[in-house]
A and B are shown apart, each in its own frame.
Chain A
Amino acid sequence: MALTALDIYKLLPKTNCKDCGFPTCLAFAMQMAAGKAGIDKCPPASEEAKAALGAASAPPLPRIVVGTGDRAVTLGDEVVLFRHEKTFYHPTAIAISVSDALGDEALEERLRSISALSFERVGQILAVDMVAVRFDSGDPARFAKTASASLARCGKPLLLSGTCAALAAAIREVGASRPLLRPPPGETAAGAALAAAEKLPLAVSARGIEGLAAALAAARAAGATELVADPKPADAAVAVADSIFIRRLAIVHRAQEIAYPTAFDLGQGFPRPFEAACLLLSKYASLLVLDTADPAEIFPLLTLRQNLFTDPQRPIQVDPGIYPIGKISPSSPVLITTNFSLTYFTVRSDVEAAKTPAYLLIAECDGMSVLTAWAAGKFTSESIAALLAESGISGKVDHRTLILPGMVARLSGKIEELSQWRVLVGPQESSALPSYLRRLPPAAFVPVHG
């Protein structure tokens, strides 16, 4: 059971020295109780307190790393139940399955389609993270060969699903890549011994939270330490319920015996796998195994993951400044918008679609969208006038005409008062920019003289 803030407070020096960055020892204790601060932030703490609180300040959900190097995937290590409380740190890993029963050509084709599952959105690359190799052939040597080919072809960390004999064979080929081992439920102890001997992470499968707690205990008893928990639900409703309860047990109840990252296999006939994937991405799964490699299904799932794992306090931003689009000239139109990454990329792609070379002026707005930034006083007539004066845009174009987002049309008069620029009110929606830009008369951007 977790220590309360008061339990923690009793062990602290109670001097309110503020070295931890919090105003009082009690405030620090409350942060520690919430899993948001560690005893290492309190230099004057006694050794006794450090020993007692070290465990309490460990992340409530352990961190498990699968794979090595740049492509390594981190599972778990989360501290909150709701993203608005802080953020979710480690995006749900998505593994696409490969059967070792596939013929050489089919295997090659399958691995090619998995490698192709990579998409660019708002300046980030979204891709699947792992390959899940399934032991269907009955031949451990073939399983090892498929694992080896999957690693070589995709370069992604592996999840190895098979009997201990198959796992042992595969480890000889790909063990150095730190695969996640997933023996069948009946072989938990043997699989755990294998994982312990090879120092590899292990996924423990057993139906339901009770069964899982027992299986995890058996795995620990066999020496395995880096564990992932798979409650083997029958359908999406049970899966999401198990996922919610396990995360609550970890974060709220600090029930260490069940506090592990979760894995769900949504392939092999799991009912309504797409629905289950969406719900489990929303509700705490650390790893999902999918049989589909259809980009029409994977792209939306990866986008949902990108959305939910964006830090609510730090929206994805681009650097403020001047962005030329296309073959610009001194008579190219100048548009302005905010530095919220999504806004920037949406406007940019619409300007590109218009095939009208233009300058895009990006204002520093703490990564807020136009309307939000305006409401928060970050995108104002004053800040826009200052940007026009200081950004150097007037040295790049010989006209003085600014296209303002239609959402903030009301700023136009004041901008004209505060700057030497004329303001044209653009469309409300960025999607209307192509037709808007094409309709603009060239006379809108005549040079200024004098």
Chain B
Amino acid sequence: MTVPLPKQAYPGRILPVTLPAGPGGTPVTVGGQNALSLAPEGEKPNAAAIGMEVRTGGGDLPPALAKAFECRATDPVSLAGACANDWGAQFLFLSLDGCHPDGGGQPVEEGARIVHEVLAAVSCPVIVGGCGEEETDAKLFPAVAESAGRPVFLSYADEKNYRLVGGAALAYGHGVVAWSPIDINMAKQANLLLSDLGVPPERILIDPLTGGLGYGLEYTYSIVERIRLAGLSGDAMLARPVLCHLGDAWKAREAVDASETSWGDAVLRGRRWEETTGWACLAAGADLLVFRHPGNVEAFREAAWR
């Protein structure tokens, strides 16, 4: 008996995007495929890239991360070094949450200085994330764009701030992460706006907003699938690599609460909560995944077959 293998061919192809590295570092290229993830078909020149988040803000670490970071300095520059050199992160996502008015309120210059130091300390590609507060970010992105010693990606540009962030990226040769709130039309719109501004397509990544496991992950899952299917069907504005930032997984009570003994060990559970979010995003089609737990970086890098 012969069963024909139901391989599927698509007319479109995801645009390859390269995140540049510093001197001596390895750049990261994602995209370039003409098939869905996980099915053994089509051409998939690049595996999903696995990165780690480094935060400038303080705040208590969840039990799983406290254990994983044990005995290490957790200031951003030292942690960045550990992520890149010891734990195998292919790129860093440096979140300047310390500049948020509620998260310490570091001055913008301090944020820009940390970016500069981290870029000097590691050679892997870096994505610099804003603090999430509109007014602060409006000052932060131009400052970072100017003071970064080498090309990075700026995260995020949305419908409101795309001129500012896109402009800063163009002026200093950076890339842009186009953010939209779990909405395929807004994802497309953000890419159109950046294109109109003149940002080259090979310097744009899509961030569809990643809901953590149990807290909206299913919306992200379906939006990523729809963005990918649209891109493979020939919609050039959506045929871009997708970045899933898994930070939301650590906001879940289930990932951090050690008081519920019937939920099992909080150290393992927290790690699994992030890992589960990551596998679902990979299955949906994500090209870049941003973790906080070193063990998950290792697990995903070993599974680079996708």
Is B216 engaged at the interface, CB distance under 8 Å to the other chain?
Answer: yes
Is B5 engaged at the interface, CB distance under 8 Å to the other chain?
Answer: yes
A295 with B216: CB separation less than 8 A: no
Chain A minimum-CB-distance residue to B300: A275
B238 to chain A, nearest CB (A): 14
B150 to chain A, nearest CB (A): 34
A296 with B269: CB separation less than 8 A: yes
* Chain A proximity mask over B272-300: 1 for CB below 8 Å, otherwise 0: 11011001101110000000000000010
Q: How many angstroms between the C-alpha atoms of A280 and B3 in the bound complex?
A: 22
A119 with B263: CB separation less than 8 A: yes
Contacts of B216 in A (CB 8 A): 342, 369
* Chain B proximity mask over A307-320: 1 for CB below 8 Å, otherwise 0: 11010100000000
Contacts of A236 in B (CB 8 A): 303
Chain B minimum-CB-distance residue to A121: B214
Given A258-B3, A275-B279, also A82-B269 (CB < 8 A): no
B residues 84-126 near A (Cβ < 8 Å) are none
A214 with B1: CB separation less than 8 A: yes
Q: How many angstroms between the C-alpha atoms of A80 and B215 in the bound complex?
A: 24
Q: How many angstroms between the C-alpha atoms of A324 and B150 in the bound complex?
A: 56
A209 with B5: CB separation less than 8 A: yes
Identify B280's interface contact among A274, A282, A295, CB under 8 A. Answer: A282
Is A362 engaged at the interface, CB distance under 8 Å to the other chain?
Answer: no
B163 to chain A, nearest CB (A): 22
Q: Which of B40, B181, B214, B222 counts the most chain A CB atoms within 10 A?
A: B214
Identify B272's interface contact among A210, A217, A300, CB under 8 A. Answer: A300
Given A210-B2, A214-B1, A299-B254, also A279-B263 (CB < 8 A): no
B277 to chain A, nearest CB (A): 8
B229 with A294: CB separation less than 8 A: no
* Chain B proximity mask over A277-319: 1 for CB below 8 Å, otherwise 0: 0110111000000000011111111011011101010000000
A299 with B263: CB separation less than 8 A: yes
Q: How many angstroms between the C-alpha atoms of A295 and B260 in the bound complex?
A: 11
A307 with B6: CB separation less than 8 A: no
A275 with B5: CB separation less than 8 A: no
Is B213 engaged at the interface, CB distance under 8 Å to the other chain?
Answer: yes
B3 with A210: CB separation less than 8 A: yes
* Chain B proximity mask over A187-204: 1 for CB below 8 Å, otherwise 0: 000000000000000000
Is B225 engaged at the interface, CB distance under 8 Å to the other chain?
Answer: yes
B298 to chain A, nearest CB (A): 12
Is B139 engaged at the interface, CB distance under 8 Å to the other chain?
Answer: no
A244 with B39: CB separation less than 8 A: yes
Is B171 engaged at the interface, CB distance under 8 Å to the other chain?
Answer: no
B1 with A213: CB separation less than 8 A: yes
Contacts of A342 in B (CB 8 A): 214-216
B224 to chain A, nearest CB (A): 10
Identify B226's interface contact among A84, A253, A255, CB under 8 A. Answer: A84
Closest 7 CB pairs of A and B: A296-B264, A278-B279, A295-B264, A282-B283, A296-B269, A307-B218, A296-B268
21 pairs, A vs B, C-beta closer than 8 Å: A121-B254, A210-B3, A213-B1, A214-B1, A217-B1, A255-B3, A274-B272, A275-B299, A278-B276, A279-B279, A282-B280, A282-B284, A295-B262, A296-B269, A296-B272, A297-B269, A299-B263, A301-B276, A303-B214, A303-B276, A306-B214
**Additional 20 contacts, C-beta under 8 A, given A245-B6, A275-B275, A279-B282:** A82-B222, A116-B262, A210-B1, A210-B2, A210-B3, A241-B38, A241-B39, A244-B39, A245-B39, A253-B4, A296-B263, A296-B265, A296-B266, A297-B269, A300-B213, A301-B276, A304-B213, A308-B218, A312-B218, A371-B181
